[in-house]
Every structure is written in structure tokens, then in C-alpha cells.
Structure 1
């Protein structure tokens, strides 16, 4: 749990997923198209992946817990939630407020 908490507190946008997960790639592409360089953690390639996955299940209440998106140190949820924020025009202001997108 500590490795997840520490990482999300140090980065503006963190996406946890699997290397073969299409939704993780979709989230990453969406953020990059907005001018954000998210930190992407592919749990199946990370040496602490199993430990982080267990922590994410506890944090999200979902199994599987990925993709899981954190913005400004807070769990936003899955790509569905992020896309919903974007479609409601609330995602970009959040990203600006935390400094992930410059004015």
C-alpha cells in the first residue's frame, strides 16, 4: 500500500494498468493528447506489481482494480470516470489546478 500511496502523492497523474490492457492505453493516450505526461505503472511488468495490485483492490473496491487513475494524489477511478469528467468539461480544469497542464 505504501508504494502506491507514495507514488500517487509524488506525481500529478498516475495510471495503474496492465501492459496488454487496452483501457490503460486509451487513458494514457487521452492524457497525452491533453498535454499531460502521466506516470504509467504496468503492474505485470513491475517487480512490485502484485503488491501494488492488492493495494489497489483495497483502495478501489474492485477486482480487477485496473485501470486505476489517480489525479493530484486522489483516486479518480477507472477510464469510464475519467472520460465522464472529460465529457462534462471538468477534467481539464482539475488538471490545470494541480499543475499537470500549464495555462
Structure 2
């Protein structure tokens, strides 16, 4: 859990993914389209990936990826991010965290 929290706090927007996950790719692309450049951590390419995946599950992220943090706070998985985007609050969260400026 400490590694997840440490990585999540290093950048305004952080997405934990797996390289073969299409929803992970979609969420990452959404962030790019909104003007954010998130730190992307692929769990299947990380030596501590399995431990981080269990830590994400303990936060309530099921499936474990994508797991999104904005401003070092756990936002949720793909459905949570899409809900925020649809209701218009995702962009404001990114602004508040200084992940985007416009």
C-alpha cells in the first residue's frame, strides 16, 4: 500500500493500468484529451505489480485497474472516472489538482 500511495502522490494525475486492458487505455486517452498528462504505472510491467494490485483491491477498486488518483486522492476505477466526466466534475478535479490549467 505504501508504494501505491507514494506513486500516487508524485504527480497530479496517476493511473494504474495493465498493458492489455482496453479500459485502462480509454481512461488514459480521456485524460490526454482533457489536457492532462497522467503518470501511468503498468502493473504487469512492474516488479511490485502484484502487491500493488492487491493494495488497489483493498481500496475498493474492483477490477483492480484502471485505478485513478487525482491530487493524491483515490478517485476510483473506470466507471467512477466516466461518471465524473459525464457530470462535468472530472475536469474541475483535474484543475484543482493542477493537472490541467484551462
The bucket for the TM-score relative to the shorter chain is: over 0.9
CA distance in 2, matches of 1:53, 1:61: 9
Q: Give the 3 Å change call, closer, same or farther, for CA 96–65 of structure 1 in structure 2.
A: same
Q: Offset at 1:65?
A: 1.3
For residue 31 of structure 2, what is the aligned residue in structure 1? 31
For residue 68 of structure 2, what is the aligned residue in structure 1? 69
For residue 99 of structure 1, what is the aligned residue in structure 2? 98
> Structure 1, residues 81-103: CA drift from partner, whole Å, max 9, x if none?
11111111111111111101113
Q: Answer yes or no: is the 8 Å Cα contact 2:61–2:67 preserved in 1.
A: no
Q: Secondary structure at the match of 1:69?
A: strand
For residue 19 of structure 2, what is the aligned residue in structure 1? 19
TM-score (norm 2): 0.93
For residue 6 of structure 1, what is the aligned residue in structure 2? 6
Moved more, 53-62 or 71-80: 53-62
Q: Offset at 1:51?
A: 1.3
Taking only aligned residues, the RMSD between alpha carbons, in angstroms, comes to 1.1
Unaligned runs of 5+ in 2: none
- Runs of 4+ with >2 A deviation: none
Unaligned runs of 5+ in 1: none
Q: Offset at 1:11?
A: 1.3
CA distance in 2, matches of 1:57, 1:83: 19
